C-alpha cells in the first residue's frame, strides 16, 4: 500500500467509530497468524497515568538492553507515534506495508462474513502493532489499553503482568457512571494467575479490583497498600520522591513534571519489581535512572519559556484537577487558558477545576468530529468572571491567548511578581495538544 492509499484507508476507518468487543480483533489476529502470542507483554490499563507508566517501563527495559515494543494511544501528530520499537516510531513505509496486509486480511474476512462489522481504526492499529512487535522479535512489549479494558482490542493478549494505574470517571457512556462499574471494566484485563499491579487508592474501585483478582487467582500487589508509602518534597531540581515498600526505600526524581508523576513512577517501580520476579531480573538503579530520563509529550510539557506555555492533555476531571494542583503549587499566578474538549467529556467538572485559576480563557475546538464547539463548552462551563473569548480556529485561539498573556503581567497569588507575560496553558484534550504540535506554533 502506497502512502496515498495508506492515508485514504485510515480516513475510511474513522467512519466506523468506537466499537468495544473482542470478536473482530480475535478474528483479525487469527487471520494474521495470532501475532499477539509471539511476544511477552505488560498490559497497562487505567483512567489516567497509563501512558506515563508505560513509557517509564519501556525506558527501564531499554536501559537494560532489551528490545522493546511500546503501543500507546492516541498519537499527537503522526499515527506512527503509536507503535515504537526500541523507542523509535515505526517508519511510514513499514507502517503502510503492514496496513496493506491487514486490509487484505480484513477484506477477506468481510467477504466471508466472518466479522460482525468492519474493523475499527483502533482494532486495525492494534493488530498492526502486534504484527510489528512479533516480526521485529521484541523481548517484551508494553501495551496501553485504549479504553476500559474488558472489551478493549488490546485485551486479546495474555500478558505476564497486568497493571491498573488509576480509576476515575471518564468515557462514562461506554464504561458506566460509577467508579465501581469503571473499575470492573478496567479489571477486565486481569487474567487467571497473572500478577496484577494496582495503583488505585482505596474505595469501591479498589474493592472491585480485589474481587476480580481474587476470583481469577491473580496475585495482586497494591502500590499504595499497607506498609507502602510515597512522599514527595520540592527540591532545587523539582519534586523529589521516596517510595517505601517494607524495608526497601527508593528515592527518585521524575523527569516528567507534576506531583502525580511521582505516583505514576511508583506504579512503574512496582511493576518492574514484579517483572524481576516473574520474567527477568531488573536493576533498581536502572529503573530509577529511567524515571529521571523518560520523556512523554503533552503532559505538562513546556514548549516556551517567555511566556511560559504549558501543554497538558487534562482530558477528564481527574486530569484537570491534577493540572490545577500543579498550577497552584508551581505557577502560582493566574494563567491564560486555551481550552478544548470532546463532546462526551464532563466539561463542567473540567472547567470548574481550571477556570478559577485563569485571568482569561479562550475556548476553541479541534478538527475532529467529537470535538465540542466553543459555544457548547461555554454552555456547559460554570460562570467565569474573567475575559472569556471564543475562537474555533486553533491557530488563532493560541495567537489570541498569547496576546492576552502580554496584557496580564505582574499579578500572582503570592503578592508581587516580575512584570512578565502571564503563563499560557493549553489543555482539555490530547487532540488539542496534537493539533498545536501539528501547527508547529512553538518551534
Nearest to residue 48, comparing CAs of 357, 294, 315, 375?
Answer: 315
The phi and psi torsions of 216 (rounded to 5 degrees) equal -95, 10
Which helix (H) or strand (E) covers residue 289, if one does? helix 284-291
Strand 41-45 relative to strand 140-144: parallel, antiparallel, unpaired? parallel
The helix/strand/coil state of 394 is helix
Burial of 227 (0-12, 13-18, 19+ CB in 10 A): exposed
State how far the Cα of 270 lies from the Cα of 276, in Å rounded to an integer: 10
Nearest to residue 266, comparing CAs of 289, 243, 283?
Answer: 243
pLDDT, position 304: 95
State how far the Cα of 89 lies from the Cα of 359, in Å rounded to an integer: 39
The helix/strand/coil state of 85 is strand
State how far the Cα of 152 lies from the Cα of 158, in Å rounded to an integer: 13
Q: Assess contact for 214 and 226: CB atoms under 8 A.
A: no
pLDDT, position 202: 86
pTM for the predicted model, two decimal places: 0.93
Exposure class string for 234-257: b at 16+ Cβ within 10 A, else e: eeeeebbbebebeeeebebbbbbb
Residue count (the chain): 443
Which structural domains are found in the chain, ordered by start? 3-291 (3.40.1190.10), 301-438 (3.90.190.20)
Nearest to residue 301, comparing CAs of 333, 336, 255, 262?
Answer: 255
Rounded alpha-carbon distances, angstroms, from residue 412 to 356, 361, 422: 13, 17, 9
Rounded alpha-carbon distances, angstroms, from residue 436 to 76, 191, 298: 9, 39, 10
Residue 246's beta-bridge partner residues?
Answer: none
E strand intervals along 165-321: 196-198, 220-222, 228-235, 238-245, 248-252, 301-305, 308-312
Nearest to residue 364, comparing CAs of 333, 393, 406?
Answer: 393
Q: Kindly give, in sequence order, each residue whose CB lies less than 8 Å from that of residue 260, ignoring residues fewer than 6 positions away.
A: 48, 49, 322, 325
pLDDT, position 412: 56
pLDDT, position 411: 53
pLDDT averaged over 10-residue windows placed end to end, the chain, 443 residues? 90 84 96 98 96 98 98 96 98 97 96 92 97 98 95 97 92 76 96 98 94 98 96 86 93 94 97 97 97 94 94 94 94 96 94 97 94 97 94 97 84 58 96 96 85
- Alpha-carbon torsion (197, 130, 63, 239), positive or negative: negative
pLDDT, position 300: 94
Which grid coordinates are listed for 177?
457512571
Residue 232's beta-bridge partner residues?
Answer: 241
E strand intervals along 90-208: 140-144, 161-164, 196-198
pLDDT, position 42: 98
Amino acid at each position: 500500500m502506497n502512502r496515498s492509499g495508506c492515508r485514504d484507508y485510515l480516513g475510511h476507518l474513522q467512519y466506523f467509530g468506537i466499537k468495544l468487543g473482542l470478536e473482530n480483533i480475535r478474528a483479525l489476529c487469527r487471520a494474521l497468524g495470532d501475532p499477539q502470542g509471539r511476544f511477552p507483554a505488560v498490559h497497562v490499563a487505567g483512567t489516567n497515568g497509563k501512558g506515563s507508566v508505560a513509557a517509564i517501563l519501556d525506558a527501564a527495559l531499554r536501559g537494560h538492553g532489551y528490545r522493546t515494543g511500546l503501543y500507546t494511544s492516541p498519537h499527537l501528530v503522526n499515527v506512527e507515534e503509536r507503535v515504537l520499537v526500541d523507542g523509535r516510531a515505526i517508519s511510514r513505509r513499514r507502517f503502510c506495508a503492514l496496513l496493506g496486509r491487514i486490509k487484505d486480511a480484513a477484506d477477506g474476512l468481510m467477504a466471508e462474513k466472518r466479522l460482525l462489522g468492519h474493523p475499527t481504526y483502533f482494532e486495525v492499529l492494534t493488530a498492526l502493532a502486534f504484527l510489528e512487535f512479533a516480526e521485529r522479535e521484541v523481548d517484551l512489549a508494553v501495551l496501553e489499553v485504549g479504553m476500559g479494558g474488558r472489551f478493549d482490542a488490546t485485551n486479546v493478549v495474555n500478558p505476564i503482568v497486568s497493571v491498573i494505574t488509576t480509576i476515575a470517571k471518564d468515557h462514562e457512556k461506554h464504561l458506566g457512571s460509577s467508579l465501581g462499574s469503571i473499575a470492573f471494566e478496567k479489571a477486565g484485563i486481569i487474567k487467571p494467575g497473572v500478577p496484577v499491579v494496582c495503583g488505585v487508592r482505596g474505595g469501591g474501585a479498589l474493592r472491585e479490583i480485589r474481587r476480580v483478582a481474587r476470583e481469577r487467582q491473580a496475585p495482586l500487589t497494591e502500590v499504595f497498600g499497607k506498609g507502602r508509602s510515597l512522599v514527595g518534597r520540592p527540591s532545587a531540581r523539582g519534586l523529589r520522591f521516596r517510595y517505601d515498600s517494607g524495608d526497601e526505600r527508593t528515592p527518585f526524581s521524575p523527569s516528567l513534571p507534576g506531583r502525580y508523576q511521582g505516583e505514576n513512577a511508583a506504579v512503574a517501580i512496582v511493576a518492574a519489581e514484579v517483572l524481576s520476579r516473574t520474567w527477568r531480573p531488573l536493576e533498581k538503579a536502572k529503573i530509577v535512572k529511567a524515571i529521571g530520563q523518560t520523556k512523554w509529550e503533552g503532559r505538562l510539557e513546556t514548549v516556551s519559556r517567555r511566556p511560559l506555555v504549558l501543554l497538558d492533555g487534562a482530558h477528564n476531571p481527574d486530569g484537570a484537577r491534577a493540572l490545577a494542583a500543579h498550577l497552584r503549587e508551581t505557577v502560582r499566578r493566574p494563567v491564560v487558558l486555551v481550552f478544548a474538549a470532546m463532546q462526551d467529556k464532563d466539561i463542567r467538572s473540567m472547567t470548574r477545576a481550571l477556570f478559577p485559576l485563569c485571568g482569561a480563557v479562550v475556548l476553541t475546538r479541534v478538527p475532529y468530529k467529537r470535538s465540542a464547539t466553543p459555544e457548547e463548552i461555554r454552555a456547559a462551563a460554570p460562570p467565569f468572571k474573567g475575559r472569556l473569548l471564543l475562537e474555533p480556529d486553533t491557530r488563532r485561539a493560541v495567537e489570541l491567548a498569547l496576546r492576552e498573556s502580554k496584557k496580564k503581567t505582574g499579578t500572582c497569588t503570592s503578592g508581587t511578581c516580575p512584570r512578565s507575560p502571564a503563563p499560557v496553558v493549553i489543555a482539555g484534550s490530547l487532540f488539542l495538544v496534537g493539533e498545536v504540535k501539528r501547527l508547529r506554533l512553538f518551534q
